[in-house]
Chain A
Amino acid sequence: MPDSQEQITAEIVESHRVYAKAREESGQESRHVLRDFAPYRSSILRHPKQPLVVAGDPEAVELTGPVFGVTDVTALDSDLTRQHVGEPMGERITVTGRVLDRAGRPVRGQLVEVWQANAAGRYAHQRDDHPAPLDPNFTGVGRCLTDGDGRYAFTTIKPGPYPWRNHVNAWRPAHIHFSLFGTAFTQRLVTQMYFPGDPLFPYDPIFNSVPDEQARQRMVAAYDHDLSVPEWSRGFTWDIVLDGAFEGEHR
Chain B
Amino acid sequence: MVKKYALPVVLIALAFLFPLIDPLLEAVLGKSLLFSAIVIAVYVMLALGLNIVIGFAGLLDLGFVAFYALGAYVTGWLASSHFKQVSFSFLSAAPTETVSGNAVPGIHISFWIILVLAGAFTALCGIIIGAPTLRLRGDYLAIVTLGFGEIIPRFFQNGDDLGGFNLTNGTIGIKAIDSPGLPFLPDSLPAWQQFGTLNLNPWYYTILILVLITVYINIRLRDSRLGRAWISVREDETAAAAMGINPVTTKLWAYALGATFGGIAGAFYGAFIASIFPTSFSFNVSILVLCMVILGGMGNIYGVILGAIALQGLNFYLLPQINTWVHRIGDAVGSPLLSGADIPKYNFFIFGIILVLMMLLRPEGIIPNRQRQEELHSGDDDQSITDAARA
- Bound together: no
- Using CB atoms and an 8 Å cutoff, list the residues of chain A in contact with chain B: none
- Using CB atoms and an 8 Å cutoff, list the residues of chain B in contact with chain A: none
